[in-house]
């Protein structure tokens, strides 16, 4: 019987070929690891959250484009939670439904709010919140850099170490929230442990547009240093008023004047943009490498930003660096797991993170020190740089690791 | 002529009791029963995932809260700008139990229905207290009194260490007859609980409005002097309206605490109060079904705008932060459009649809 190749046969062959190609292709394509990020890309604190999310996005693009994981890729969904814990919780549930292996969170409120969920589902998490409380009763939260408390206590130690004369008198200027208050308790504990400093007053700022009365009061109480732990705008207002009243110190510890210092979110390029000349001689701690430092690390950051078409503002933001580092942590854990021949699961990544010390610690171009974690230490970069504003640019003047925070953590 | 119990073609009431029935015809009863069965049954057939169940739970909690707000603002005509604070009172009642007894105390994990009722009662107590100025104040002045309560609530929560200064206070997992409700069943379990609460409270309002206690709310709203002349006590009625609203809000707050398994300050801010008010307006003030439509409309609008903001955020210049403005802008626009073109809310569309379909088949 004569057989003909009709349309059906041709279509059948084509289908077989397509299927074969598809299956072969999927074999070559490697695995896709699902990750999720939820942060304030819009809404309150989005001035920090927006560049941070860009840092996360760009780093994962870089990993995939440059095949840092071989044929495997990272698929990180980035969602905006507008700084609302309810939305963060919803995003997190969505990510769990999708089967993520690692979670990246943003705010302090939502990190504390979801802490129990992280424990229950055993999900390793890196937040953008460096609140010391994240570590309490928690096993799965890995803070990328020194905590807010470490920043504030490190500043206090810097004051004590560099102050000339009797016990320095310090005022703490803080955000009226748990975020602001947390480090105050640790600073007070450090003083109780022997840090030779007198905390004269703790000021919880409101939405004041004029701090004259407060500054005059601090002056009348003999305060010499003001350590801030809040966001940039209230600090900028305070610095401007201090300059107008001519009470800001021109050099560290200048007698009869106030020397202003601030932790993590108080500084950065946004502070200089807001405070202008008044920001001169402001001291700031941060664990991120700044692009104003003009070193090999900052060049890498700028290169990454340029590759993915980011504007100067985002490229030079330390929040962009924060996003990069936050994304580098799971990347490193995945690399370690692959090297050890383990499946990429939340449990294995958790195991890898706890082993990320000694020869497994890694250097990041975004941070000032090596990133290391262990079972007892869930803080990545322990070192903070002290930066000072000179001619409208933050310059690194010193590096420090808080001695007293270590004492407080170990209970010694 | 024998009366048709399935299709009423006119008003055949022969007693007040007949008029007070919840369902006028067997068809109404059947449709409602079918709808109720559908609401109970669908989770058994469709797995929405935890995210969407969480959204649905949130939506239904908002319905409970808005039912309360509709009682005080819609039926009694008293503007309340502090409703989220009352919801917060309920949530923080649960949180207070957790702080004093521990998150896994049996009262919280096993006797949670009792805790929910207690939270409602505490909410009612606070509602009555905040409603006291209603003896003297009216209209905007009374609204300011409720706003003050919102401010005081926020301040107290934000500063008192007992309330963890607004940070999350955890709530333990509850138990049911089948044992401890695990993470996988959590949102579905609470869906059923909230559904029961919504049905019970919905019937509660429907029946209340047929009694003298419900009618006096409307009488005081329409003309308090006339109501006074007819023997009602306008002041007490207003306080009682606030207490009722507080009860609903307290129950909603307790449900919120259990669904979130924690209580944090940011869910009970002034912004949330305005959102509840918006839901009541969009749904239809002074209508029971408006309390359902409003939350559904606003919550789904929220979800859609969130997605839109996210997409817009990638294309609009970050410096101008236009995507941030998109949500409040849309929210405000919807309220204004409803006030302008449909002040009676979505409930009125429902009324129109119902009256249209009444003509079929030859009802009159």
Query: Which residues of chain A have a CB within 8 Å of the CB of B95?
Result: none
In sign, the C-alpha dihedral spanning B342, B344, B345, B347 is: negative
DSSP per-residue codes, B157-222: HHH-GGGGGGS-EE-PPPEETTEE--TTTHHHHHHHHHHHHHHHHHHHHHHHTTSHHHHHHHHHHH
Say which residue the tokens 């009860």 belong to: B247
Report the alpha-carbon distance of residue A32 to residue A25 in Å, rounded: 14
More confident residue, B330 or B117: B117
Q: Contacts for B299-306 with beta carbons within 8 Å, 24 or more apart? A: B299/B55, B299/B58, B299/B59, B299/B62, B301/B330, B301/B331, B301/B334, B302/B327, B302/B331, B303/B55, B305/B330, B305/B331, B306/A80, B306/A82, B306/A87
Kindly report the backbone phi and psi dihedral angles of residue A354, in degrees, each rounded to the nearest multiple of 5, phi listed first: -70, -20
**Residue A122 sits in the same domain as residue A154:** no
**Pairwise CB contact (< 8 Å): A133 & B167:** yes
**How confident is the model over A78-97, as pLDDT tens digits?**
998 888 899 999 999 999 99
Report the alpha-carbon distance of residue A343 to residue B60 in Å, rounded: 40
Q: What is the pLDDT of residue B138?
A: 82
Q: Which residues pair with A386 in a beta bridge?
A: A285, A398
Q: Which of B21, B66, B344, B312 lies closest to B198 in space, CA to CA? A: B66
Q: With an 8 Å Cβ cutoff, is A77 touching chain B?
A: no
Q: Looking at residue A287, what DSSP letter applies?
A: S
> Could you give the C-alpha distances from B215 to A173, B209, B282, in angstroms and in order?
55, 6, 23
**Residue A129 sits in the same domain as residue A66:** yes
> Does A109 reside within a domain?
yes
Say which residue the tokens 């969130």 belong to: B306
> Does A18 reside within a domain?
no
Q: Looking at residue B72, what DSSP letter applies?
A: I
**Residue A190 sits in the same domain as residue A247:** yes
Average predicted confidence (pLDDT) for chain B: 89
More confident residue, A1 or B128: B128
| pTM: predicted TM-score of the whole model, two decimal places | 0.87
**Pairwise CB contact (< 8 Å): B168 & A112:** yes
Q: Please say if the pLDDT value at position A182 is more than 90.
A: no
For residue B361, whether the previous peptide bond is cis, meaning omega lies within 30 degrees of 0, is yes
Query: Which residues of chain B have a CB within 8 Å of the CB of A86?
Result: 58, 260, 267
Query: Which residues of chain B have a CB within 8 Å of the CB of A314?
Result: 318
Say which residue the tokens 């600090």 belong to: A235
Report the alpha-carbon distance of residue A290 to residue A105 in Å, rounded: 23
Query: Which residues of chain A have a CB within 8 Å of the CB of B155?
Result: none
Q: Which of residues 144-203 of B touch A (CB under 8 A)?
A: 158, 164-168, 170, 183, 187
Q: Which of A116-130, A242-256, B310-324 has the lowest mean pLDDT?
A: B310-324
> Does A23 reside within a domain?
no
Q: Which of A265, A328, A326, A226 lies closest to A131 in space, CA to CA? A: A265
Q: What is the pLDDT of residue A212?
A: 93
Question: B285-323: string of b/e by CB count within 10 Å (b at 16+)?
Answer: bbbbbbbbbbbbbbbebbeebbeebbebbeebebeebbb
**How confident is the model over A262-297, as pLDDT tens digits?**
999 899 888 999 999 999 999 999 999 999 888 999
pLDDT-based confidence at residue B12 (cuts at 50, 70, 90): confident
Q: Which residues pair with A126 in a beta bridge?
A: A104
Q: With an 8 Å Cβ cutoff, is A61 touching chain B?
A: no
More confident residue, A221 or A15: A221
> Does A208 reside within a domain?
yes
Q: With an 8 Å Cβ cutoff, is A312 touching chain B?
A: no
Query: Which residues of chain B have a CB within 8 Å of the CB of A46?
Result: 321, 324
Q: With an 8 Å Cβ cutoff, is B267 touching chain A?
A: yes
Question: What is the Cα A266 distance to its own chain's centre?
Answer: 13
Domain interval for residue A267: 149-286+386-410
**Residue A138 sits in the same domain as residue A154:** no
CATH code for the domain of A320: 3.40.50.2300
**How confident is the model over A99-114, as pLDDT tens digits?**
999 999 999 889 999 9
Two structure tokens written together for A347:
């449990």
**Pairwise CB contact (< 8 Å): A177 & B50:** no
Please compute the mean of the pLDDT values over residues A253-260 and round it to a whole number. Answer: 94
> Does A17 reside within a domain?
no
CB atoms within 10 A of CB A17: 10
**Pairwise CB contact (< 8 Å): B261 & A116:** yes
**Residue A123 sits in the same domain as residue A195:** no
| HSE-CB for B287 with a 13 A CA cutoff | 21
**Residue A323 sits in the same domain as residue A365:** yes
Total residues belonging to chain B: 364
Q: Which of B104, B116, B48 lies closest to B252 in space, CA to CA? A: B116
Query: Which residues of chain A have a CB within 8 Å of the CB of B327?
Result: 42-43, 82
Query: Which residues of chain B have a CB within 8 Å of the CB of A87?
Result: 306
> Does A4 reside within a domain?
no
Q: With an 8 Å Cβ cutoff, is A313 touching chain B?
A: yes
**Residue A167 sits in the same domain as residue A268:** yes
CB distance B291 to B280 below 8 Å: yes
CB distance A173 to A230 below 8 Å: yes
Q: Where are the domains of chain B?
A: 46-269
State which residue of chain B sits closest to A90, comparing Cα positions.
Answer: B51
> Does A272 reside within a domain?
yes
Q: Which residues pair with A141 in a beta bridge?
A: A125
CB distance B217 to B236 below 8 Å: no
Please compute the mean of the pLDDT values over residues B9-29 and round it to a whole number. Answer: 79
**Pairwise CB contact (< 8 Å): A42 & B321:** yes
pLDDT-based confidence at residue B319 (cuts at 50, 70, 90): low
Q: With an 8 Å Cβ cutoff, is A122 touching chain B?
A: no
**How confident is the model over A10-34, as pLDDT tens digits?**
556 565 555 555 444 444 568 999 9
Q: Which of A205-214, B148-157, B167-176 has the lowest mean pLDDT?
A: A205-214
| HSE-CB for A123 with a 13 A CA cutoff | 27
Q: Which residues pair with A79 in a beta bridge?
A: A38
Testing the interface with B: which of A37, A38, A41, A42 to mutate, by most B Cβ within 10 A?
A: A42
Structural domain count, chain A: 2
Q: With an 8 Å Cβ cutoff, is A370 touching chain B?
A: no
**Residue A56 sits in the same domain as residue A74:** yes
Q: Would you call A376 exposed, middle or buried from its count of C-beta atoms within 10 A (0-12, 13-18, 19+)?
A: exposed
Report the alpha-carbon distance of residue A400 to residue A146 in Å, rounded: 11
**Residue A361 sits in the same domain as residue A217:** no
Q: What angle do CA A224, A230, A233 make, to 5 degrees?
A: 95
Report the alpha-carbon distance of residue B279 to residue A277 in Å, rounded: 48
Report the alpha-carbon distance of residue B266 to residue B168 in Å, rounded: 9
**Pairwise CB contact (< 8 Å): A80 & B164:** no
> Does A330 reside within a domain?
yes
Going by DSSP bridges, is the β-strand pair A384-390/A393-400 parallel, antiparallel, or unpaired?
antiparallel
Q: With an 8 Å Cβ cutoff, is A113 touching chain B?
A: yes
State which residue of chain B sits closest to A43, comparing Cα positions.
Answer: B324
Please count the residue pairs, one from chain A and one from chain B, whose beta carbons lie less than 8 angstroms apart.
85
Q: What is the pLDDT of residue A88?
A: 94
Question: A330-341: string of b/e by CB count within 10 Å (b at 16+)?
Answer: bbbbbbbbbeee
ipTM of the complex: 0.85
| HSE-CB for A90 with a 13 A CA cutoff | 19
**Residue A245 sits in the same domain as residue A158:** yes
Report the alpha-carbon distance of residue A125 to residue A111 in Å, rounded: 9
């Amino acid at each position: 019987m004569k057989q003909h190749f009709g349309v059906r046969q041709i279509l059948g062959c084509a289908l077989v070929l397509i299927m074969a190609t598809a299956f072969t292709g999927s074999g070559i394509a490697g695995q896709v690891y699902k990750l999720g990020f939820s942060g304030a890309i819009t809404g309150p604190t989005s001035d920090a959250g927006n560049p941070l999310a860009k840092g996360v996005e760009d780093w994962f693009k870089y990993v995939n484009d440059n095949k840092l994981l071989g044929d495997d890729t990272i698929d990180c969904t980035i969602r905006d939670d507008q700084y609302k814990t309810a939305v963060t919780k919803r995003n997190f549930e969505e990510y769990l439904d999708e089967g993520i292996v690692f979670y990246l969170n943003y705010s302090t409120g939502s990190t504390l709010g979801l802490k129990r969920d992280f424990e229950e589902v055993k999900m390793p998490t890196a937040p953008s919140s460096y609140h010391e409380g994240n570590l309490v009763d928690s096993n799965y939260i890995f803070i990328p850099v020194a905590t807010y408390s470490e920043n504030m206590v490190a500043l206090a130690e810097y004051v004590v170490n560099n102050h000339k004369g009797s016990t320095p008198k310090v005022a703490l200027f803080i955000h009226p929230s748990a975020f602001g208050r947390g480090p105050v308790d640790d600073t007070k504990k450090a003083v109780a442990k022997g840090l030779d400093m007198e905390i004269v007053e703790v000021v919880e700022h409101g939405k004041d547009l004029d701090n004259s009365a407060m500054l005059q009061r601090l002056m009348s109480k003999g305060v010499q240093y003001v350590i801030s732990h809040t966001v940039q705008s209230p600090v900028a207002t305070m610095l401007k008023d201090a300059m107008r009243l001519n009470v800001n110190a021109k050099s560290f510890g200048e007698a009869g004047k106030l020397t202003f210092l601030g932790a993590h979110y108080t500084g950065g390029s946004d502070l200089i943009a807001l405070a202008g000349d008044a920001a001169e001689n402001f001291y700031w701690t941060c664990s991120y490498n700044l692009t104003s430092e003009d070193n090999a690390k900052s060049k890498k950051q700028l290169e990454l930003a340029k590759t993915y078409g980011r504007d100067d503002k985002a490229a030079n933001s330390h929040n962009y660096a924060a996003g990069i580092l936050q994304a580098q942590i799971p990347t490193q854990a995945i690399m370690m797991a692959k090297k050890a021949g383990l499946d990429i699961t939340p449990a294995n990544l958790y195991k890898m993170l706890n082993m990320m010390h000694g020869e497994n610690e890694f250097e990041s171009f975004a941070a000032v020190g090596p990133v290391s974690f262990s079972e007892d230490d869930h803080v990545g970069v322990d070192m903070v740089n002290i930066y000072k504003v000179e001619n409208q640019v933050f310059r690194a003047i010193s590096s420090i690791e808080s001695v007293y925070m270590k004492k407080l953590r170990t209970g010694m | 002529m024998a009366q048709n119990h399935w299709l009423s073609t006119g008003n055949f009431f022969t007693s007040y009791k007949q008029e007070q029935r919840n369902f006028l015809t067997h068809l109404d009863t059947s449709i409602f029963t079918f709808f109720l069965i559908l609401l109970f049954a669908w989770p058994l057939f469709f797995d929405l995932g935890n995210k969407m169940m969480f959204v649905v739970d949130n939506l239904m909690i908002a319905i409970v809260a808005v039912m309360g707000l509709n009682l005080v603002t819609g039926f009694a005509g008293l503007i309340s700008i502090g409703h989220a604070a009352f919801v917060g009172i309920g949530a923080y009642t649960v949180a207070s139990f957790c702080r004093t007894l521990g998150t896994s105390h049996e009262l919280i994990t096993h006797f949670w229905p009792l805790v929910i009722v207690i939270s409602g009662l505490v909410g009612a107590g606070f509602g009555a207290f905040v409603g006291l100025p209603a003896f003297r104040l009216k209209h905007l002045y009374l609204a300011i009194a409720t706003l003050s309560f919102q401010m005081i609530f926020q301040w107290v929560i934000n500063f008192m260490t007992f309330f963890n200064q607004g940070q999350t206070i955890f709530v333990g997992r509850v138990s049911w007859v089948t044992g401890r409700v695990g993470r996988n069943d959590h949102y579905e379990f609470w869906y059923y609980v909230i559904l029961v609460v919504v049905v019970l409270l919905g019937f509660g309002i429907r029946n209340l409005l047929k009694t003298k206690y419900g009618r006096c709310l409307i009488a005081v709203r329409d003309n308090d002097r006339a109501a006074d002349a007819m023997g009602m006590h306008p002041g007490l009625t207003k306080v009682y309206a606030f207490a009722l609203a507080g009860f609903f809000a307290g129950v909603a707050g307790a449900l919120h605490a259990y669904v979130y398994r924690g209580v944090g300050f940011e869910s009970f801010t002034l912004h949330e109060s305005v959102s509840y008010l918006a839901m009541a307006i969009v749904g239809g003030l002074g209508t029971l079904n408006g309390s359902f439509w409003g939350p559904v409309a606003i919550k789904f609008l929220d979800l859609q705008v969130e997605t839109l903001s996210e997409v817009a955020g990638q294309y609009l210049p970050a410096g101008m932060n236009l995507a941030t403005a998109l949500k409040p802008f849309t929210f405000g626009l919807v309220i204004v459009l409803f006030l302008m073109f449909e002040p009676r809310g979505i409930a009125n569309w429902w009324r129109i649809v119902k009256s249209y379909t009444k003509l079929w088949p030859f009802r009159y």
